[in-house]
A = this chain, B = another copy of it.
């Protein structure tokens, strides 16, 4: 099982943005769409062993969490293009708009859930079943890490994690690096998936 957790500190927590201008109006929901693409999609197929948590902290109602569960999603739910994925996020935000409970998850579509879970809630829940890594250019080279079967990776958005987020992760998530440069989150996820495929014995 592979989990990717992306903390998006500016991503809007209400569907108040324009689909035509995601980068300019949504706090970079476009970036989250590309991360979902990289996390789940293969050519003409789909990774069922992946979970993605989007942890949204932008205006007006942070936090919102959207969980995408490969096991439960229907194969045609997620398509490669950004706009159709943005529509899934919009649907989740609309379903979660009047949710008040701090930890209840509501199903948006099969395998997709929205909640008010905090970043810390997501991390604590993830730690129960997986080893946690924080993808960071100054981390240990990925080739030198001994991965267990259940792994979870935390990533920041275009602005990275805040010092508070990093302080929270310190001691519970090892920093892992895929290279010396600073890469886009979606490229990092694509690389990690393909790298993990290469070290996973065929079924």
| Residue pair A41, B184 in contact (C-beta under 8 Å) | yes
| Residue pair B191, A194 in contact (C-beta under 8 Å) | yes
Cβ of A101 < 8 Å from any Cβ of B?
Answer: no
| Residue pair A38, B80 in contact (C-beta under 8 Å) | no
The CA-CA distance from A184 to B194 in the complex, in Å, is 11
Could you say which of B34, B84, B182, B198 contacts A42, with CB atoms under 8 Å apart?
Answer: B182
| Residue pair A31, B80 in contact (C-beta under 8 Å) | yes
Tallying the copies of this chain within the complex gives 2
Cβ of A74 < 8 Å from any Cβ of B?
Answer: no
Residue of B nearest to A158 (CB): B43
List B contacts of A37 (CB < 8 A).
Answer: 34, 184, 186
Cβ of A202 < 8 Å from any Cβ of B?
Answer: yes
Cβ of A187 < 8 Å from any Cβ of B?
Answer: yes
Q: How far is the CB of A188 from chain B (nearest CB, A)?
A: 8
| Residue pair A84, B23 in contact (C-beta under 8 Å) | yes
The CA-CA distance from A182 to B197 in the complex, in Å, is 11
Cβ of A82 < 8 Å from any Cβ of B?
Answer: yes
Task: Pick out which of these stretches binds chain B: A112-120, A122-130, A173-181.
Answer: A173-181
Mark A residues whose CB is within 8 Å of B. 20-23, 30-31, 34, 37-38, 41-45, 79-84, 158, 178-184, 186-187, 190-191, 193-194, 197-198, 202
